[in-house]
Chain A
Amino acid sequence: MSVKEATKAAPAPMRAAPEPPRPSKKNRSWDEVPRWQIYLPLSIYLLFTLIPFYWILLFSLRPAGSTSLVPWPMTFDHFEKVWTERSFGTYFQNSVLVGVVTLLMTTLVALAGGYALARFNFKIKRAFMLALLCSQFVPGALLLVPLFEIFAELQMINSLGSVILAETVFQLPLSIILISNFIKNVPYTLEEAAWVDGCNRMTAFRIVVLPLLRPGLIAVGSFAFVHSWNHFLFALMFLNNQEKQTIPVGLNTLMGADSVDLGALAAGGIIAAVPVVIVFAFIQKWLITGFSAGAVKG
């Protein structure tokens, strides 16, 4: 499946932003933007966006040594080679494991923290908020050495657990801020009504708030998954064993080889892209709401 096809398959993207009906469409038409002013720049930009995607697809499908600009005759040799000889099969499993566990841990921990921030007033709330906002500026890349030492102390070097923990931690600040904003959007009175009906706080949360949080949780979970799927430095630093590596590290190894096997690199890249493209197609419609709900305005 190509990147392009998958993106096309996105069902009704941006449903989140319906245009309110224009009251005076006829009167406005004199001022409508001329079509060419939309399509011309958009087409030029799309060329810039899509040629690189086409390029990697082309290299992954055409035989080694070919210089044809269409992937014909088509071959899947590169995929077979990269999946078995270059261990991308193993990397793929590792990356899925890291991505899914990071997603679950981030969502759960952020849900608890976000709920506390949205619904309670407590002593260290301001300090906690400040810590969250500031942590967004702390780059994991600059903490590689101390993190390595911590994981060495915990005997977690070469275990996927180290990468999962590190990815989760650096994903948390933004996730908590996002989720607490989503929870604030759910009226407190709904929860109160459930308490009056005899639910305890936990049950009320589960049956009243959680269903309404679904789009927000999907957005936050997808960010966590895509980030940990894409991220590279932690895996590079904390995993020395080839069987434990993840896809981005595998890609980097392919690029670093003395004579780069371009077909294998392209096939590896496509394998790296597929899950992200699926997730992206899936969350498209929540992307805009997810961000406007407070990613930036914190």
Chain B
Amino acid sequence: MAQAAAVAKPPAPPRRRRASATPRRLPYLLIAPAALLMLGFIAYPVLSVFYYSLQEYNPTKPWRNGFAGFDNFVHAFTDDPLFWDTLVFSAQWVFVEVGLQLLFGLALALIVNQTFVGRALGRALVFSPWAVSGVLTSAIWVLLYNSQTGITRYLADVGIGSYGTSWLSDTSTVFPAAIVADLWRGVPFFAILILADLQSVSKDLYEAAEVDGASRIKQFWHITLPHLKDAIVLSTLLRAVWEFNNVDLLYTLTGGGPAGETTTLPLYIANTSVDAHNFGYASALTTVAFVILLFCSMVYLRLSKFGGEDK
């Protein structure tokens, strides 16, 4: 593997001497703080989750604690309808959320990439929800959705819907209501990433396409989209993992309810460990989530051509 920095260039002699004067240990010293922190607070907890997944472990029922083999996993897959429900809901949530975010994000990026009066302001406003936290997003949409003074009241004033409607506590409306709230915050992420990638499309290609008389729609399909392909695939994957993992919004907006309608797998895990103190079972569920994430990260590594960074 040819390391770029090690490739000798003509004025090499002074550097060679200097470089060999640096202690061999220097790079290790430099990564030591990061490596130690990650070993202690990421690697060790991950390993302990694997360990606990094979244990019956519940601080509130210590007399039952002990080695359990694969009991936790068997229970999850054969005897726990909630597990399957949350898994299905997770898939639904991620699929709908990421799909819509990508669609709107792409459209927005294409729009604010045009030259027009007020573009800087337009971009700033469009991107602004990006920095808003999950909890604050929940707070905002709780205000919008509340049954007394929320948006439904004013809609009812003009004859749409009825007074006292609460979209978050009705099982038939809670899914779209939560989706819209998360879209509000999630679309700017895609818009920013895609806009960043749009900056590197060669203008010459469009000029050439125009000379050949290609319409704008054709230019989009044959120049823009192929150029964006890698960025779209990678950001979609990253976002899907992020949407799967992130529990802030659903935890605070719906609490997984009503009637468990909006509980994702990580939310179910959090409830199992925090409320029910069933750490062993929660660890087994976490292990299942890790396997799903591991699969995604392998795909990610393949797509990002890991190891090719040294060229």
Contacts and interface: CB of A to CB of B under 8 A. Distances in A.
| Interface majority SS (helix, strand, loop, mixed), chain A | helix
Nearest to A199: B18
| Interface majority SS (helix, strand, loop, mixed), chain B | helix
Nearest to A172: B34
A283 B107 CA distance: 23
B100 interface: no
B137 to A, nearest CB: 8
A172 B199 contact: no
Nearest to A204: B18
Nearest to A165: B41
Contacts of A48: 184
A212 interface: no
A33 B199 contact: no
A183 to B, nearest CB: 11
Given A145-B282, A262-B143, A287-B192, A128 B37 contact: no
B208 to A, nearest CB: 12
Interface stretch (B65-73, B75-83, B127-135): B127-135
A143 B270 contact: no
B200 A292 contact: yes
B41 A59 contact: no
Contact of A296 (B151, B216, B231): B231
B174 interface: no
A260 interface: yes
A55 B4 CA distance: 53
Contacts of A255: 138-139, 142, 252
Nearest to B230: A297
B239 to A, nearest CB: 10
A113 B196 contact: no
Given A56-B143, A165-B41, A288-B199, A137 B241 contact: yes
Contact of A109 (B37, B43, B193, B283): B37
A49 B125 contact: yes
A17 to B, nearest CB: 5
From B28, B132, B138, name the one whose CB has the most chain A CB atoms within 10 angstroms: B132
B29 to A, nearest CB: 8
A233 B247 contact: yes
Given A28-B210, A147-B45, A192 B18 contact: yes
Contacts of A8: 121, 124-125
Contacts of A35: 116
A interface, how many residues as a size bin? 35 or more
A116 interface: yes
Contact of A232 (B44, B151, B252, B296): B252
Contacts of B134: 230, 232
Interface in A83-139: 109-110, 112-113, 115-122, 124-126, 128-131, 133-139
A196 B16 CA distance: 11
26 contacts: A3-B128, A10-B124, A38-B111, A41-B111, A42-B111, A45-B126, A49-B184, A55-B140, A56-B139, A112-B34, A120-B5, A122-B27, A138-B46, A142-B245, A145-B282, A146-B44, A147-B41, A168-B37, A192-B14, A195-B14, A201-B18, A230-B135, A233-B248, A276-B132, A284-B127, A296-B238
Given A53-B140, A141-B266, A280-B130, 10 more contacts: A20-B203, A45-B108, A49-B126, A49-B129, A131-B35, A131-B43, A144-B274, A230-B131, A269-B139, A287-B127
Interface of B: 3-6, 9, 11, 14-15, 18, 22, 26-28, 30-31, 33-35, 37-38, 40-46, 48-49, 52, 104, 107-108, 111-112, 114-116, 120-136, 138-144, 146, 149, 151, 153-154, 184, 192-193, 195-197, 199-200, 203, 207, 210, 216, 230-231, 234-235, 238, 241, 245-248, 251-252, 266, 269-270, 273-274, 279, 282-283, 286, 289-290, 293-294, 296-297, 300-301, 304, 306-307, 309
